[in-house]
Amino acid sequence: MKSSFRFRGVQLDLARQVETLEFIKQFTDIIAANGYNVLFLYLEGRVRTESFPYPTDNECYTLEQMCEIIEYASSKGIDVVPGISLLGHGELFLKHEELAELAELRDGRNGRFWANHKHVFCPSQKATCEFFEKYLKEICAIFPSEYIHIGLDEVWDIGYCEKCKEQAVDFMGEQSLFLNHLLHCHKILTSFGKRVMMWDDMFEYYRDILEKVPRDVIMVNWQYYNDVQHYRGHFTNLKTEHILAEYDRLGFEYIIAPSDYSSANVRTFTEYSENFKPLGALITTWEKETCFLYKSMPTIAYAGRLWSDETGKPEDELFTDAMENLFRLRDEKIIAILRFNTERTLDNEIPVSLSALLTTKYHGFDYGGFEALNLLRLNLENILKTVKNKLGKIIIQDIIDACYYNIFKYRLHKFTQDLFDPMGNTEKAELEINKIYQDVKTFGKTRVQKWNDYRPGIKPCHIAKLHEKYLELIKSLPEQAKNNGIMRVRFCLPDGFSAEHCKISLKYSGSWHDISIGCYKGLNSEDVLFTKTFLIPSSVVPEVFRMEACGYGGQGLTFVEIFTNTGSYVPSVLISATGRVTDPEYVLDNDCKWCFIGEKDTLKAFKNRKVAEEIHSVEYSF
């Protein structure tokens, strides 16, 4: 498989988790040995400078530390590219009181998704532009790379403050606001002799301005599916197109960006890109504040070999070469086990919520997936005995730990369902949950020790906080199951990336009560049919169920059932359906047909805020 990209990069997400300089140097050694020539430091606002002096020592890097990283990488033949957030993902800047007034949602108003989180800069303020110019001058002065990445992804909340609304009077005005900011940043950075890189996902919505973007801007195109066969939109009804062909036509250079989630994503995106003319590739790694990057090393090493090969060697041999470099082994069985591991996604250690535990796939528990994890863990523990080099042992152990974490989550999900099921074996479920509590408690201690080993001196220890909350949740489950009734709502959501804002209410004792407000999705984007269980008072005799929805992509409603101490209840009569509602009578049947509530066209709602704000609703009596 012959790729040999000119730009071969790895992203290190330092915005979400500070790593030690020793680790960054070790990481640089690994990527240099596997064919990479670029280390992309995703920083957002992680570097402290004279114009941005507000971060404390434990939450930032100094210019001197950045210079040390750059110098070390250069000695290994690696170019270091900085990534600074110049519009969205500006939390590390805007959380400081001194810069809070530069936020788009600075006056407390809500943005596109009904929250007022300060994560987007206001592009209309002169003070925003002045701050960026000063900060970028300091950053560019120490990074010798010709490239700088300016973010511009997932910018949901522009055009909301009073100053921006003057320009964004319609959707074309919103696009122009984005374009003008991009052009201003481009002007600043080209004056410093830099070439701008940016994530390209906002052009899924702002397509009218694409041709007005300077052609020396490098588009970074990210796709994280295991099987990339074409470009699929992220929040535009999963629209299918060949955007790389459009970049070729317009004369843009671009980089493909798979993730460390799976080697399948890397391989298929690379194969797809061979139909076009990419400048190179960047493997992205995200959000490692409650886990470590070691378990991703096999996929990262493989991608480097794939993208630097000039011989046309078969990709499975490139994978074997990468594993031999990491583990000093070339055993066929061991390579097959490692390949199995990298081809699938092991969830990162992230907070587990009660809402997630009470969400189930329509077709039930994935017993095969659970046993595959156990089998992978057992095989890796045997491999660990044969690996002799220190780095190889650390990587294998980190993958084993990821298996344990996912196994605990599988077990907890299974027995939480049994615990809250009126027909479940609650006594057995409670015993199993107590066992899981002890297992997670022991496991958490080993993970905290690894934090101290791998991130010495870095505080706070996010893994300790994660496991404290995890244990609190597990401990609370039996009591919550005993003291509450439940309402099961079955949903259908063909587009797992839509974002319909829903409110579920129950009328009982003659009054309305809000049960839940949120955006309801399955356990992953592929779960079309799923059930969510909501806790309600155990003494309820329900009279009417109501669901209201507004936003992006709509929400499919399939069935509702309630279990309390007073009995079990299902919908019997459709009372009303207002706004955009199709087939509301289907909710009366306990099957897979669905009523759809809201505007199905996410892009239509995105372009017209009045459409997104329209409220649609259904009501049923029990």
The number of residues in the chain equals: 622
**Number of other CB atoms surrounding residue 428 within 10 Å:** 12
59: which DSSP letter?
G
Rg (CA), the chain: 26
Cβ contact 308:321 at 8 Å: no
Collapsing DSSP states into helix, strand and coil, what is residue 528? coil
Give the pLDDT of residue 20: 97
d(CA 152, CA 205): 13
Cβ contact 582:616 at 8 Å: no
d(CA 477, CA 486): 13
CA distances from 237 to 120, 241, 431 (A): 24, 12, 44
d(CA 421, CA 425): 8
Give the pLDDT of residue 2: 53
211: which DSSP letter?
G
| 584 CB-near residues (< 8 Å, 6+ apart) | 574, 577, 595, 618
Q: Where are the domains of the chain?
A: 80-260, 354-482, 493-621
Give the pLDDT of residue 1: 53
Only one residue has tokens 């209410």, namely: 505
Task: Kindly give the parts of the chain with pLDDT less than 50.
Answer: none
Superfamily for 80-260? Glycosidases (3.20.20.80)
DSSP for 146-202 reads SEEE----S----S-SHHHHHH-SSHHHHHHHHHHHHHHHHHHHHHTT-EEEEE-GG
Give the pLDDT of residue 496: 87
**pLDDT mean across residues, the chain:** 96
Only one residue has tokens 């069935």, namely: 559
How far does the chain reach from its first CA to its final CA, in angstroms?
61
d(CA 393, CA 328): 11
